[in-house]
Amino acid sequence: GQVDEGKVTYRSPSNIALVKYWGKKEHQIPANPSISFTLESCATTTTVSFTKLKSKAKDYSFELSFEGKPKEDFKPKIEVFFNRIEPYLPFLKEYHFIIETSNSFPHSSGIASSASGMSALALCLMHLEMELQPDLTIEYFNQKASFLARLGSGSACRSIEGPLVQWGKHETVGSTDLFGIRYPYKVHPVFQEYHDTILLVDKGQKQVSSTVGHDLMHNHPFAEQRFAQAHENLTKLRTVFENGDVETFIQIVESEALTLHAMMMTSLPYFILMKSNTLEIINTIWAFRKKTGTPVCFTLDAGANVHVLFPKAEKEKVDRFIADELVVFCENGQYICDSVGYGAKKL
Ligand code: PMV
């Protein structure tokens, strides 16, 4: 079809990896498969307005605003993204785009917005692709949106659907390196309603970008064992998800978080991204779990903030525990209550 102008808005969530993606090959192909919970509250909302140009431009033509203000310093990232996806969206230079974006979480919370941001933008661009080719199916739409999001930021490909998304080739799940798929096996109700309270330990800029981090897995002394372990953990998770085995879930998820940080501590150069309050929180969670038997655990991203994961049924108990014992370790006492979500939505 012919599309002269239009406007679309998508709200796309963040996600939290249970088995971590850390290490990649060329073209954003992951070195190992990963799986994440899609989140509900932490999200980016992006509106893209598009107008067809009189003739194809030489460069990409777009304006960018973040939370209502022009955002020049973000433009190079978008340029790189457009360059990577243009082979799959050949119309990019035929339109002028106005991209308006905002996050549901505080700007400098130390929460990465690349997953939600890149997936929201990919979805808006897919909307235009769909208008140009109205016969595309919804499966194709989701797969290609995830495929494009991956080229923006690897983990972004896990934000299109929910509650659990697997990305990366794995011997028993029919998943692929090219895009994320909704977890295809049985998921016990306990994992369909999991909660994630994000404790903001350090809201500062990350010392290491994930790009640098992924690169440090090349020639890393433990890389091969780590990649093999991710495969094994995903195999184990299949029965865990099916049976609602929260105990084994906790063991796998905490081990994954510590392994991610162990990889950073043993690369060259080496990094410690945890802060002392990260460790205080981990020890306090362990003591509480031992004392009360409450199935609460933690996971970490490539930063100091702690994600506290627990079943919905434990919400009241864990909320009280967080308020009484963990808030003291948060910067300005800040934390975000989130839970598992079902993916991006067109608004
Ligand atoms: O999507 P990237 O390139 O920012 O990498 C994300 C890496 C981790 O958040 C540390 C792990 C993951 O699987 O999300």
Is the pLDDT at 99 greater than 80? The verdict is: yes
Q: What would the two tokens of residue 33 be? A: 């498969």
CATH number at residue 297: 3.30.70.890
CATH number at residue 163: 3.30.230.10
| 194 and 145 within one domain | no
* Per-residue pLDDT tens digits for 259-280: 999 999 999 999 999 999 999 9
Assigned domain for 292 exists: yes
Residue linked to tokens 């905002």 = 102
| 195 and 94 within one domain | no
Task: Provide the domain count of the chain.
Answer: 2
Assigned domain for 345 exists: no
Cβ(17) to ligand 1 under 6 A?
yes
* Per-residue pLDDT tens digits for 197-241: 999 998 876 678 888 999 999 999 999 999 999 999 999 999 999
| 319 and 202 within one domain | yes
Assigned domain for 344 exists: no
For the chain, helix (H) and strand (E) counts, in that order, are 9, 14
3-state percent breakdown (helix, strand, coil) of the chain, nearest 5: 45, 25, 35
**According to the model, what pLDDT value does residue 108 have?**
66
Cα–ligand 1 centroid distance for 252 (angstroms): 17
Cβ(32) to ligand 1 under 6 A?
no
Is the pLDDT at 56 greater than 80? The verdict is: yes
What's the chain's Rg over C-alpha atoms?
Answer: 20
By the 8 A CB rule, do 307 and 301 touch? yes
Please identify, among 152, 186, 220, the residue that sits at the C-terminal boundary of a domain: 186
Please identify, among 186, 212, 235, the residue that sits at the C-terminal boundary of a domain: 186
Report CA-CA distances (Å) from 292 to 50, 245, 288, 314, 321: 55, 18, 6, 11, 11
Cβ(305) to ligand 1 under 6 A?
no
| 327 and 287 within one domain | yes
| 267 and 154 within one domain | no
Domain of residue 81: give its range: 5-186
| 38 and 118 within one domain | yes
Q: What would the two tokens of residue 214 be? A: 């992924």
Cα–ligand 1 centroid distance for 301 (angstroms): 7
Please identify, among 151, 186, 221, the residue that sits at the C-terminal boundary of a domain: 186
CA distance 336 to 332: 12
| 165 and 22 within one domain | yes
| 171 and 208 within one domain | no
